[in-house]
Amino acid sequence: MSLNEFGRHRRLRRTHGIRKMVRETHLHKEDLIYPIFVKEGSNIKNEIPSMPGVYQWSLDRLDGEVEEVVRLGIPSIIVFGIPAEKDDCGTSAYAKEGIVQRAIRQIKRNHPELTVIADTCLCQFTDHGHCGVIENGEVLNDETLELLVKTAVSQGEAGADIIAPSNMMDGFVAAIRHGLDEAGYHNIPIMSYAVKYASAFYGPFRDAAHSSPKFGDRKTYQMDPANRMEAMREAESDVMEGADFLIVKPALSYLDIIRDVKNNFTLPVVAYNVSGEYSMIKGAALNGWIDEKSVVLEKLVSMKRAGADLILTYFAKDVVKWLEEDN
């Protein structure tokens, strides 16, 4: 083989300028969705021990956090609520004066241009910590749908721009679509947690949202991490039922699934970079074992390369600052 018979791939890597010209994937602040935890009570700014840099906020202290998000140019947030009272059917999830409903009203009043997504689930609001109604130790599907619809409609009433149902009951998209339409909210899109695995990476979130199941686990409704074809069936159902966005969750161990969803469906794909993925990096970074900025940017760009159009991440604020530094 003579010398000019092999490819000179390094030509396109030689300078920063050329590398930028041939870069195939870009991360933009417009891709980001930032999660915010709101907690009933007053004067609360609690750092979540397993998620350094992430806080629970009471409504009287929330404005500064939201203003920072807006100032950084992050276009959208997702709101998770931690209620004062829980009961067996999660009444506080759909109360007019529920913590999420009040938070949405307050945020939209101050920042009408910020897109506010409501996470629609029951597990933070039920005393047993499951995502639905329980009978004889089992999570009932169709009975739960009614409560989810009430929750979604109450969030729409409060001014949510997008409803994001995360509880993995069968038929939740159809039920919520129908409920929203009936209540006059046919213009509110549904960002479905279409493909959600029963993952150990949700651990820190459950600390943050006080939503661990008191018995058993979520394996009868969330998916087995070993399954790939099943993810296509889940996504297909949600598309047929009227979803407007498809979430894959978690993100990092599921890049193949993100790519499959992207290749098989035409809706926008959202990668949920979950709490455990955040904590692993934070923990290592705080120990000085890895370089946080480089690792986070590499991992988010990988999610986009895998096919994500949007990324829901606890790193969103840092990412915007890092992207600006690099420009």
Q: Which of 106, 154, 166, 192 binds ligand PBG (CB under 6 A)?
A: 166
Answer yes or no whether residue 119 interacts with ligand PBG by CB under 6 A. Answer: yes
Q: Within 13 Å of residue 50, how many CA atoms lie on the same side as its CB?
A: 16
Does residue 225 have a cis bond before it (omega within 30 degrees)?
A: no
Determine whether 29 is an active site residue: no
Q: Which residue is nearest to ligand PBG (CB)?
A: 205
Output phi, psi for 79, to 5 deg: -105, 130
Q: Which of 62, 72, 93, 131 binds ligand PBG (CB under 6 A)?
A: 131
Beta strands in 176-262 (DSSP E): 191-196, 245-249
How far is residue 323's CA from residue 57's CA, in Å, rounded to a whole number?
26
Answer yes or no whether residue 234 interacts with ligand PBG by CB under 6 A. Answer: no
Answer yes or no whether residue 167 interacts with ligand PBG by CB under 6 A. Answer: yes
- Closest by CA to 119, choosing from 301, 30, 249, 215, is 249
Q: How many residues line the site for ligand PBG (CB under 6 A)?
A: 13
Determine whether 299 is an active site residue: no
Answer yes or no whether residue 192 interacts with ligand PBG by CB under 6 A. Answer: no
- Return the range that interacts with ligand PBG (CB under 6 A); candidates 53-61, 64-72, 140-148, 202-210: 202-210
Pull the structure tokens for residue 172.
């939740």
Residues 267-306 that bind ligand PBG (CB under 6 A): 274-275
Pull the structure tokens for residue 322.
């890092």
| Distances in whole angstroms, Cα of residue 195 to Cα of each of 150, 167, 261 | 23, 11, 9
Answer yes or no whether residue 254 interacts with ligand PBG by CB under 6 A. Answer: no
Which residues are known catalytic residues?
A: 196, 249
Give me the residues that bind ligand PBG (CB under 6 A), please. 119, 121, 123, 131, 166-167, 202, 205-206, 211, 218, 274-275
